[in-house]
Amino acid sequence: MIPFNKPYLSGKEIDYIKFAIDSGKISGDGSFTKRSQDFFTSKYGFQKCLLTTSCTDALEMAALLIDIKPGDEVIIPSFTFVSTANAFVLRGAKIIFADCLKELPNIDVDKIEELITPKTKAIIPVQYSGIACEMDKIIHIAQKYNLFIIEDAAHAIDSYYKDKALGSFGNFSTFSFHETKNIISGEGGMLVINDKRFTNRSEIIREKGTNRSSFYRGEVDKYNWVDIGSSFLPSEIIAAFLFAQLEEINDIQKKRLDIWQYYYELLKPIELKGLISLPFIPDYTTNNAHMFYLLCKDEHTRNSLLSYLKSKEIMAVFHYLPLHLSPFYNKKHDGRILNNSERFSNTIIRLPFFYELKDTEISYIAESIYRFFGLTF
């Protein structure tokens, strides 16, 4: 079976974990945490970065930081992972689900304004598949209505909107280092704080509501319980793993882009015949090769193609059942039909995608898709 994902090891992970263990410091905020955070601030121009135990936790921190209260409304695309919404639901927010664009599964920014009410507190654009949302328009709306922006950049490491790194647009942004992402640490994430008003409180919330970070810097003479918070800080073992990956980001990204391009070239003729659609990448964004997806004409074709690929020992998958239709939220949703989100959910296929995927495997996968449609490869 060609797996859907295979975690890639750059080679130094075990050495760095051993180094952390030998140094006698394996709880959080040691040298590997600092080096990883510094990597992001210097390479991408983020203001402040805090490693977290997951992107989910980074989203939960953002919801705490902007003080979401019961009844506040938050605008979120329906076509996303559950954590994007759940982090705000945990604080009592009402989620106003937005549809995505017709040609790509990012939030339809021209439809955001009509969803805003006096209770709206934040917009959460998801940079799906590392392809940027139209950030200029989102920033304009957020300024006009005084709303927070929290970029869900779980997929979006090393991708740019008009030459500025994704993750640098929101008051906050959140990244994932889950094993399916470009850069991994098993589980793991990061909160980026681009709004200076929240620098201090973000450290406190991450450290169980204490001012331990200030204490370690010698700014206060004892540390105390000063706010609400929780345990969002990963251990140095996770950070050591992550840093070994970050050092190799250029190589990892080059390889992933090559894989993406090869898939694209091989599958383009099927798109030209009108049988599938390939990812659309607007001019204003780069592609970070987080995933390769294709869209079938309808759900039946999608399901048949998935089964066919499985019979050929190829593990392709689909994802994101629209959140407005989920068992947990459908009764709370206001009933608007979100056609594009439903269409993406019903027709998308994600093909195997990982660093070690070989050209011969990619061409075998492409050939299988040709055969499914009765075409010669």
Taking the complex as a whole, how short is the minimal distance between the CB of residue 186 and ligand PLP, in angstroms? 10
Which residue lies nearer to ligand PLP by CB, 54 or 368? 54
Cβ within 8 Å of residue 87, ≥6 positions away: 56, 59, 60, 62, 63
Taking the complex as a whole, how short is the minimal distance between the CB of residue 81 and ligand PLP, in angstroms? 3
Taking the complex as a whole, how short is the minimal distance between the CB of residue 260 and ligand PLP, in angstroms? 18
| Cβ atoms of 83 and 59 closer than 8 Å | yes
Taking the complex as a whole, how short is the minimal distance between the CB of residue 252 and ligand PLP, in angstroms? 18
DSSP H or E stretch at residue 48: strand 48-52
Give the integer Cα–Cα distance in Å for 31 and 37.
10
| Cβ atoms of 318 and 7 closer than 8 Å | no
Which residue lies nearer to ligand PLP by CB, 170 or 270? 170
Which residue lies nearer to ligand PLP by CB, 84 or 287? 84
Residue 362, Cβ density class (10 Å: 0-12 exposed, 13-18 middle, ≥19 buried): buried
| Cβ atoms of 234 and 17 closer than 8 Å | no
Show the site string, 42-71: x = touches ligand PLP by CB under 6 A, - = not: ------------xxx---------------
Taking the complex as a whole, how short is the minimal distance between the CB of residue 46 and ligand PLP, in angstroms? 17
The site that binds ligand PLP (CB under 6 A) totals a number of residues, namely 13
Taking the complex as a whole, how short is the minimal distance between the CB of residue 320 and ligand PLP, in angstroms? 8
Residues 290-329 that bind ligand PLP (CB under 6 A): none
Please pick, from the candidates 84, 168, 346, 368, the single residue that binds ligand PLP as defined by CB under 6 A. 84
Stated length of the chain: 377
Q: Does 154 bind ligand PLP (CB under 6 A)?
A: yes
Stretches 30-38, 79-87, 204-212, 349-357: which one binds ligand PLP (CB under 6 A)? 79-87
Q: Does 234 bind ligand PLP (CB under 6 A)?
A: no
Stretches 80-88, 222-230, 298-306, 345-353: which one binds ligand PLP (CB under 6 A)? 80-88
Bridge partners (DSSP) of residue 126 are 152
Taking the complex as a whole, how short is the minimal distance between the CB of residue 205 and ligand PLP, in angstroms? 17
Taking the complex as a whole, how short is the minimal distance between the CB of residue 270 and ligand PLP, in angstroms? 27
Taking the complex as a whole, how short is the minimal distance between the CB of residue 154 and ligand PLP, in angstroms? 3
Q: Give alpha helix (H) positions in the chain.
A: 13-22, 31-44, 55-65, 82-89, 135-145, 199-206, 212-216, 236-246, 249-272, 299-311, 339-347, 359-372
Q: Give alpha helix (H) positions in 172-313.
A: 199-206, 212-216, 236-246, 249-272, 299-311
Residues 162-201 that bind ligand PLP (CB under 6 A): 176, 178, 189
Give the single-character DSSP code of 279: P
Stretches 76-84, 218-226, 330-338, 369-377: which one binds ligand PLP (CB under 6 A)? 76-84
Show the site string, 109-128: x = touches ligand PLP by CB under 6 A, - = not: -----------------x--
Please pick, from the candidates 40, 79, 81, 172, the single residue that binds ligand PLP as defined by CB under 6 A. 81
Could you tell me the CA-to-CA distances from 275 to 103, 261, 295, 348, 377 in Å, in that order?
Answer: 15, 19, 9, 13, 15
Bridge partners (DSSP) of residue 295 are 277, 348
Amino acid, single-letter form, for residue 334:
D
The residue ranges that bind ligand PLP (CB under 6 A) are 54-56, 80-81, 83-84, 126, 152, 154, 176, 178, 189
